[in-house]
Amino acid sequence: MVRLDSVGLRYGDGPEILRDISFHLRPGSLCFLTGPSGAGKTSLLRLLFLALKPTRGLINIFDKDVSQVNRWELPLLRRRIGVVFQEFRLLDHLTTFDNVALPLRVMGQREDSYRADVMDLLNWVGLSDQAQAYPPVLSGGEKQRAAIARAVISKPELLLADEPTGNVDPVLAKRLLHLFMELNRLGTTVFLATHDLKLVSQGKGAVLHLEKGILKAA
C-alpha cells in the first residue's frame, strides 16, 4: 500500500529534515512511529498525506509514484487517506456533527444520505450527546475523538495520526488507542506517530523509530 525508498526531504536550501527513509506498509497493518519532538515525525506524515513531495527518493502510495501524480489525481488519492492532526483542526463555527460530516459534504453528498452514518460514528466514539455542540465547549479529549471520527467517516484505506494522544490524560489515551486498534481490526491501515512509549507497548503493531531525521530499528 505504501512504500518509501531512500526518501530525503529538505525545506528550501536548509539541511535535510529526513534522510534515506525506507519502509513499507502492508494493507491492513498497524504501525507506530516513535521519536522525540523535532525528530521529523510530522514531516514524514505530511509526505504520506501528499502535502509535500520528497526532495529525493521514491514514494509509492496505492501503486502510484507520488512524483508522477498530477494535480487532478491528487484529491482522489487524498480521499483514500484519513488524517488525525495533533491540533484537531475542527471548525469552531460548525457543530460536532457538521465537523465530522464535512468530508462527505465536500464530496457532494446530501445530508439525508449520511446522517445515520455520522450519528452511528459519533455514538461509537462516545460523542452522540455532543452532536450539536460547538468545538469551543468541548474538552480536549472530546475534540480529539471528533477529529478521529471526521478522519474515518469517509472510510479511508489509510489512516495517519499525528500525536493523537498528546493532549489527553493516560486513561483517555488508552481509550483512543483502542479506537485505532478497532479501526485496524476492521481493515484500515493505521500509521500512528507518537512519543508515548507506554502507549506503543499496549498496541500490537510494528514500531519504527525516527531520530534526527534518520529511521532506526525500534
pLDDT in single tens digits along all 218 residues of the chain: 999 999 999 999 999 999 999 999 999 999 999 998 889 999 999 999 999 999 999 999 999 999 898 888 998 899 999 999 888 899 999 999 999 999 999 989 999 999 999 999 999 889 999 999 999 999 988 998 999 999 999 999 999 999 888 777 788 888 888 889 999 999 999 999 998 888 888 888 999 999 999 998 66
Neighbouring residues of 125: CB distance < 8 A, sequence distance ≥ 6: 145, 146, 148, 149, 179
CATH code of the domain containing 161: 3.40.50.300
The verdict on residue 183 lying in a domain is yes
The verdict on residue 190 lying in a domain is yes
Which amino acid is residue 19, in one-letter code? Answer: R
Number of separate domains in the chain:
1
Indicate the angle between helix axes 170-185 and 140-152, nearest 10 degrees. Answer: 10
Integer Cα distance of 130 and 66 in angstroms: 39
Q: What is the DSSP string of 57-74?
A: EEEEETTEEGGG--TTTH
The verdict on residue 184 lying in a domain is yes
The verdict on residue 61 lying in a domain is no
Identify the domain containing residue 168 by its residue range: 26-54+76-217
Q: What are phi and psi of 7, to 5 degrees?
A: -80, 135
Global confidence as pTM: 0.90
The verdict on residue 138 lying in a domain is yes
Within 13 Å of residue 181, how many CA atoms lie on the same side as its CB?
A: 14
The verdict on residue 70 lying in a domain is no
